Structure 1
Amino acid sequence: MMSRWDVVVLGGGPAGCGTALALRRRGVERVLVVEAGTYGAVRIGESVPPDIRAVLGGDLGLWDAFLAEGHEPCFGSRSAWGSDVLGFNDFLFNPHGHGWHLDRRRFDAFLARQAAEGGIAVATGVRFAGSEELEGGGHRLHLSGADGSAAVVEAGIVVDATGPRGRFARLRGARARPLDRLVFVAGFFGLPEGGPLTRQTMLEAAEHGWWYAARLPDTRCVVALAADAEEVRASGLTRPDAFLDRLRRTRHLLPALDGSGLEDGSVATWVAVSYLRERVAGANWLAVGDAASGYDPLSSQGIQKALTDAVDAADAIAARLGGGTDLGTHYPHAVNGRFADYLYNRNRFYATEARWPDASFWCNRRARTELRPAAGRA
């Protein structure tokens, strides 16, 4: 491994690999991607809108390769939100066509493979362990391997793509301003041939949260419940029997899963936090994707946001390496602007559900409409 790089990207998810790929298209060649995992872990599926074609195809030049991956088409959504009636929203008139239900593990591995095949160095099973600023500019990074090995590299610019922890940004004193926090309980279901679940995303509001379901490419689907942590603990929703019992109370989702079965050992939980980091760029570093901001999965904008951040970050870095403006001049305005749009739409959408005005879940969503001050140290 070389010891000096123009750019080191910490994190090899969509935001990290997207930044590396976009940098390569801008002529930046000495780029290293450091990924702690190996792309083998199971990831919950995610839907992306038709507009993903603009960034995957137009900005990154990967559209044909993406289509060859065979992800499940998404033709719109069906939702029972604000009413007991199931409404429909399709992509019929979208100029980019339909959206997609992604196999996240496969999608992340695809981006890493495209980066490596494009001449970008991708180091897997390697973690970021610490850093120091260099006197002449840039950063010295300490890396550790899963086998206990250690390495030191120098980077002219560091891209933090380490997810919500924002490990590098936090060391630079950039704290996260929180908005909201949800806990998701999800499971994978095997689908019968010709079953009633369509290729549309399903969304159904309930008294103690909201449900989401989407098909996956391998005759399976993912079903998830978003709730408050207190409800998950009090009702024991991490147990498969409690999860299924709550699912049986749904009006529309249960019939759509007729003939399906929960896969053994597939129930998992994760936390989704909405936040915006106080600073997303500084002296020779910037943060992208979830290291910069977190969106409620209700928006279905997580990957779109990550890749858009990546393209904007690559523009800022290429300009900086070319002797142009500082990283903190334009890029933060783009990230903050996207978050402002997300916040407006998120608040408006939650406000349309008024069937359970006294339920704690919905009271919490109505109370959490603005960013709160960052607490404690970064």
Structure 2
Amino acid sequence: MSEASYDVAIIGGGPAGAAMAVALRDLAPFLSVVMLERTDYDTHRPGETLSPDLRIPLSRLGVWSSFLRDGHLASRGTSSCWSRAEPRIQDTQMSPWGSAWHLDRARFDERLSLEAARQGVRVLRLTTLLDVESIAKEGYRLHLSQRKTGALTLRARFVVDATGWKATFAMTQGARRRIRDRCFTVHGAFQLRPGESFPTDALVESCPEGWWHSARLPSDCVAVTLVGDGDSLHGLRWATPEPWAALLEQAPVTQARLAACDFAGEPLVAAPVLVGELDQMHGERWLAVGDAACTHDPLSAQGIFSALDSALLAAEALEQYLRGEEDALCAYEQTLHLRFNEHLHRRSRTYLEEQRWPDAPFWKNRHTAFPALTPAAGQRSAPAPTGLAP
């Protein structure tokens, strides 16, 4: 049986993968592109809070108008209780790009996937990569599993890894992730009671164990996330919500906002948070994009923006590479590396601003992690924390 062949196979249909598919079709419509997504966009995807400059990459991708129609919740910005007990707001209402946004992540991801399909990308949902076979200058043979039809294979001249922090394809090519920090999040859902109101700004509130993030999402859901590490949350069990809820009671500003809500009763969702980058972001006929290349601290609230931005950069680099510019992929990797180092500098300064619990394990770990980091020339002071629901 003959195999389908494509110029580019994108593994992963999240924001980075789908954005790259759209951008690549725009830059080089003659290329055949297939995108593989392991879900049907129906799995749990915690909402996220994004800054107004999200409008920039979405406009470049041609999906800003459809984004506005999709029911995401506009926000005035983020309040933070960081280095102080009283909240201060970083108001975005005067931003030239408009309001901040609380996303319905499943809807957002699927919207980008639908746009990719509209642009001529073949989108294979419920499809998982099983194995990779190099076929020299012809590229790669991908062995796949589809939930509905079973096993299949396809060929691709070039592969884009958009599989998130696991970087599934890049790891098969010898790449390894340089981890700069390890945390994890524990996420719980609340429901706003009928007739009650909830602030449109997200809230970041630091605590001895780490920091809390809370935000109202579409459908009157309020997402509440605790970010900690293995030392600060050691010994706690998340099979039941009581230990998590007990810590939440010690976050007074977050707790006060939740007075208008009821706990939804759904199981808590725990997930790792790795701050790091691949030691190799491209190789022979492949590159990594989004979280597969670099994973940022969720405190920056730049995960989605960085994924879209890196996808646009990667699409340009790949189009140049396929036209014979051999250095294009190296330049792409160098740009991401420089931006990741800038992120580490900003992150270090922001965590050092919180000095109320210097002996608490979480803060002691953060304060001593990068003592040698010094700001790059011309760098500004650290911005106020914005945060997201990772």
State the TM-score bracket (shorter-chain normalisation).
over 0.9
TM-score for the superposition, normalised by structure 2 = 0.91
Q: Is the 8 A contact 1:34 1:122 kept in 2?
A: yes
CA-to-aligned-CA distance 1:10-35 (integer Å, 9 cap, x gap): 00000000100000111234000011
1:39 pairs, out of 38, 41, 50, with: 41
Q: Is the 8 A contact 1:49 1:99 kept in 2?
A: yes
CA-to-aligned-CA distance 1:296-316 (integer Å, 9 cap, x gap): 111100000100110001001
Counterpart position of 1:30: 32
Counterpart position of 2:153: 152
Counterpart position of 1:375: none
- Matching of residue 183 in structure 1 with residue 209 in structure 2: no
Q: Once superposed, what is the RMSD of the aligned Cα atoms?
A: 1.7
- Matching of residue 52 in structure 1 with residue 59 in structure 2: no
Q: Distance in 2 between the 1:60 and 1:292 partners?
A: 21
CA-to-aligned-CA distance 1:150-198 (integer Å, 9 cap, x gap): 2221111100001111111111111100011111111111113554531
TM-score for the superposition, normalised by structure 1 = 0.94
AA aligned to 2:306 is K
- Matching of residue 232 in structure 1 with residue 233 in structure 2: yes
Counterpart position of 1:129: 130
* Structure-to-structure mapping, 1:120-269, within 5 angstroms: 120-147=121-148, 149-193=150-194, 195=196, 197-269=198-270
Question: Secondary structure, in 3 states, of the residue corresponding to 2:39?
Answer: coil
Q: Distance in 1 between the 2:338 and 2:324 partners?
A: 25
Counterpart position of 1:277: 278
Question: Secondary structure, in 3 states, of the residue corresponding to 1:136?
Answer: helix
AA aligned to 2:227 is A
AA aligned to 1:363 is K
Unaligned ranges ≥5, structure 1: 372-378
Counterpart position of 1:374: none
CA-to-aligned-CA distance 1:279-334 (integer Å, 9 cap, x gap): 10111110001111111111100000100110001001111222223453211012
Identity %: 36
Shift, 1:134, TM fit:
2.1
AA aligned to 1:36 is R
AA aligned to 2:273 is A
AA aligned to 1:126 is T
Shift, 1:135, TM fit:
2.5
CA-to-aligned-CA distance 1:228-254 (integer Å, 9 cap, x gap): 134434133452122212111112111
Query: Quick check: 321-330 or 4-13, which moved more?
Result: 321-330
Shift, 1:274, TM fit:
0.5
Q: Distance in 2 between the 1:127 and 1:12 partners?
A: 11
CA-to-aligned-CA distance 1:45-82 (integer Å, 9 cap, x gap): 1111111111001x201100111101011211111100
Counterpart position of 2:110: 109
Shift, 1:370, TM fit:
8.1
